[in-house]
Structure 1
Amino acid sequence: MPIRRTDKPPARPRIVIPASEHERLLRIAEQAFERDVPVAGYLVEELSRAHLVPDEACAPHVVRMGSQVTYSDAATNRTHTVTLVYPREADIDSNRISILTPIGAALIGMSPAQSIDWPTPGGGVAQLTVLSVTR
């Protein structure tokens, strides 16, 4: 599936985020918004629609900070494995992607078999599907 341009809001599945991570991520997103980081608004939207759960009640298959995630990218028809990290821990050469990237913000709270349309840097929309999650 190629990247497409659209005025329609992207489809978004139900997501789950542990309460303590939600609080920290919201602070990071708000600080990024103040610095005019392009993905900050998208991350705030994702966090605002998340279902919050107590940390101990978060299922191990839910993408959270530190999770290793394998996902397929419909635009490139490729599979990628990344670890979702806080901005200071990001290292693209080690496949450690920041929550302050479009893909990082799209992955948070997702579970295997869920797909999400996410905004690409060029203004289009692409789709990814979570295949597996490990902690």
Structure 2
Amino acid sequence: MARKNDVLIVETEFKRLMGMAEAMEQRNPVEAEPLLAKLDSALIVSEAKTPDDLVRMGSSVVYSAGNDEKTVTIVFPADADIDAGRVAVTSPLGVALLGRRAGSDVMLRARDGKETPLKIVDVKSVAVVA
């Protein structure tokens, strides 16, 4: 399990993500809880102190699950398109990857409770204006 300092969120993105998660909590608290928990446990960093290999909004992330490697881009829900590899930050995969760095081992917790270990292989960050 990640320690607080293992999860970094860029300050400008934190504000937008927290607002979105709090609004989501009003409609669907069960689905909002994982993102809220991630944000609550994160260390907030300035844009200037953001590591290049940090998974943030707009990042292209290569991850592996066993021998299977996939690439996804972390996006806001309105821009999600799983067929195009754009994963909503509110999805279990988006929550698992957000705020972690290349080389990190993370646990994907599906909504049905199933857990799958993942390894973040590479991250290419593309800043998204929040």
Pairwise same-fold verdict (TM > 0.5):
yes
In the alignment, which residue of structure 2 is the partner of 1:131? 121
The residue type paired with residue 9 of structure 2 is I
Give the helix-richer structure, 1 or 2. Answer: 2
In the alignment, which residue of structure 2 is the partner of 1:111? 101
TM-score, normalization: structure 1?
0.85
Alignment of 1:1-135 (within 5 A): 11-13=1-3, 14-36=6-28, 38-74=30-66, 77-135=67-125
- Give 1:38 deviation, angstroms: 3.8
- Measured in 2, the distance between the counterparts of 1:94 and 1:105 equals 18
- Measured in 1, the distance between the counterparts of 2:105 and 2:52 equals 18
- Measured in 1, the distance between the counterparts of 2:91 and 2:50 equals 23
Answer 1 or 2: higher relative contact order, Cα 8 Å, separation at least 6.
1
- Give 1:132 deviation, angstroms: 0.2
Gaps of 5+ in 1: 1-10
- Give 1:71 deviation, angstroms: 0.4
TM-superposition CA deviations, 1:5-36 (whole Å, max 9, x none): xxxxxx22511111010111111111111111
- Give 1:96 deviation, angstroms: 0.4
The residue type paired with residue 98 of structure 1 is A
TM-superposition CA deviations, 1:84-115 (whole Å, max 9, x none): 00011111111000001000011111101111
- Measured in 1, the distance between the counterparts of 2:60 and 2:31 equals 21
Gaps of 5+ in 2: 126-130
For the aligned residue pairs, the C-alpha RMSD in angstroms reads: 1.3
Contact 1:60 1:134 in 2 (8 A): yes
TM-score, normalization: structure 2?
0.88
The residue type paired with residue 64 of structure 2 is S
In the alignment, which residue of structure 2 is the partner of 1:3? none
